[in-house]
Structure 1
Amino acid sequence: MRSYGIIDYHISSSIWSGIKRHISNVTNNTCWQLGKGDQINFWTDSWVGDPLVDLLNIPRHSHALLQAKAAHFIVNDHWLIPHSITSIYPNLVPLLNSVTIPITKANDELRWIHSDSGVLSFKDAYLFHRPIGQHIPWAKIIWCEDIPPSKSCLMWRIMHNRLPTDDLLCHRGCYIVSKCDLCGKEAETIHHIFCDCSFSKAIWHWFASVISLRIDTSTVSSIFDICNKNWNSQCKIVVIAAVINIFTIIWWCRNQHRFEGKSIHWRSAINTIISNVSLSGNLSKKSSFVSMQEFVILKAFNVNVHHPNAPVIKEVWWHPPLYNWVKCNTDGSALGNPGIASCGGLFRDYTATFLGGFSINIGNSYALHAELIGVMNAIEVAHSKGWNYLWLESDSQLVNLAFKSSLIVPWKLRNRWFNCLELTKTMHFRVTHIYREGNCCADKMVALGINVDGFYWWDNVPPSVQGDYISNLMGLPSFRFH
């Protein structure tokens, strides 16, 4: 790119010839972050989202005549749009108000819209172009730090029908007389060996009696449904290890008979399974609050119960600010990633008197966005009301880190964030972290934001916040268990 445009001449480059055909993808998935506004075409560039010519349905034959820059419509850090334009396009002003004009002018920058940083990295390019992967429910089960990789690899081959069974060898052109080495009654297939063979059925029946549950052996993948039950951490590892070891031992017994001429009884195979599962269960760092059923399972595999550490009880206190200071507790949440998001906060003085609060329905967003928007609204409200001694408190560690490094802030919020940082320079300002148990009032304000439309200001303590507010007023502690 040269002068913020795509070059139309040849250059000597080892990579340009390969990437230039993807330039349209780059331009269609980038957006300008407003700075000075002198590089952004007000009408035809993407900086409000889609170009204004598309949002306002301006005829295409007029696009070449629209050469005004965004800087031409900014006066004293405010939008100044001629009445002749707003009368024709009444929707223009709401679109412009959604974009924050930075107080400290920087250069306009192109941002990749699919990343929070706005930077197009090789990883972002790969994620954009890669095909959508297939969701395989058993993948995270077999690849586990408590299972030896060799057994996980064999399990992967079984799930993908990549074992050299007789039917697969015949399919590849190696025609042989097929007979199951475990039961000697039917032709050998993956489904028969692990699901239908009398040898395998005896082992699955034993395992079902240990866990006191029915196991669906109609398919190989259906057997893994037993791993998705609501087991506690250590017991779940034991069950997963048992299932995988049963598969591997069945295959090992088959190979022993075929290549070594050794017939292994299914009861001997069970002893090997118990030994292997015991090793995984005892070496696992997982702990468990065991029920009687899970206790029986662990003891059946000679696994010692790893009791969790005793909970540490910590008192969490909300402290009022110093004399003449105002303290604002903020919070934000999203019901999904992304999902319906809201944020809120409340202001109290040094006597813990309620000065006001706000709840905001953000719409569909992320939890970090909600947390940051709550903080920015708190700073803007405090500045507008002349509360120049502001103590901001949040239960988000990322919010506290964002005041030290703005790279944490998503680029779409960065202009507003920088403006808020400039406002804090005119205040006596501090920001601290508090545990969630001490931030209950702000949490209740967030819950109210789900049911409001946009921004809502509370002059009095909402009824749902009264209980926690009185507890803070009386200096009562909350308790954190971890």
Structure 2
Amino acid sequence: MLDRELLLDNISGAKASVRSPALTHVMYMDDVVLFSRATRNDASILSRCLDRYIAGLVGSPTWRAIGEAKKLIVKGACFLLGDGSSIDVWSDPWVHGIVDFRPQPRVDEYKKIVIKASDLIDSSTRSWIREWVNVLFTPADATAILSIPIPYNPKQDRLIWFPDSKGRFSVKSVHKVAFTSPKRDSQPQAFWLKLWKAKFPKSLKMLIWRIGVNAIPTKENLQLRLPYIDPSCSLCNEPMETCTHIFFECPFAKALWAAACWGLRVDPPSIITLANITKFIMEPPASSILAQDQWTVSLNMALVIDEIWRSRNLKQFYNVKADVLSAKQNIHSKFLEIVKAFTPVMSTPMEHISYRWNPPPQGWIKLNVDAALNNHRSAFAVVAQDQLGEALSLWGKIHLACPLAQAETEAFYWAVKLANQRGVEECNL
């Protein structure tokens, strides 16, 4: 289609050199580059070609992705008013602050009239013709149009990327537009907060999140991208493997829920959206478990989901038959391991050990020896006491720095030498 438009001279393409043929597109394995002049005519023709190609249902996933990307670009592309001569007031996005940047007429028949934005501008005063604006557009849209500043020196209208503060188009800003909803329900948001704060391993949190946002490769989701894939359930051969089926309706899933989750029976019709699965896990049915241990109920339910998905993958890729008993044992062992990891260890207070001085036999002398040290030196002390506990002598000595065990040994050796020097024959240490 693009080559045909090029032959009809409707689009120009691009040339690598003066005598080279014009190129309209280059296709790679996972990317496509289109070439044309940056004019409204070429852009319109390219858009129509893409629409026809995608509508024919013969496009590859890459082409269909381009079609989806167009929807994102429409959300953020808006004209910056110059002279208004190239802006069609009904079909072009040019009024920021309203839905889709396109104003609505007071009367539907007005859309049949071709009106340029320049027709609504008084060229002598460079201001809006208020009477016409108020007649043509709804009151809210008229107010938005009259608030658009008109350049004093006319210049060409320019298409800008409105989500970016500088009007620049980037992949990052498109991603923000794609994943930022203008209005969010506070209730599901609470579920996500509970999920990310839960005492789960990160891999388990990611699995529950992927299920909640429908980003898990069930056969139903894969069939949207790979039309010829077998959509039947890997575990029970049900015609369509959906998230609701694989986790709640499949006979293996029902048996595992009953065996591993206190006989819980799930009502699939209550799972209206995939976000309800997150709600079901993070706000489980009431139980008699203590409030501080309620998180273990959600953990056990999340582990059941994880084990169902694991059993499904083993059957799908390795033809391993799903077994409820072994799956239940896996859930139990993982549950105990995770609870142990996330339960704070209560340290028992250390028992206070008191040392009692024992007197020596009558007529003997007891030598109490101690050693202390720092980075630079060590010190010894020896106290001689009789059987009544009265101190007879006290000695102290500064020594070179050395390891603690060596310092204590040196202190004992010095105490023995002191006893020999003073003729003490009966003593203990």
TM-score bin (small chain): 0.3 to 0.5
Pair member with larger Rg:
2
Structure 2 length-normalised TM: 0.34
Structure 1 length-normalised TM: 0.30
Which structure is richer in relative contact order (CA contacts within 8 A, separation 6 or more)? 1
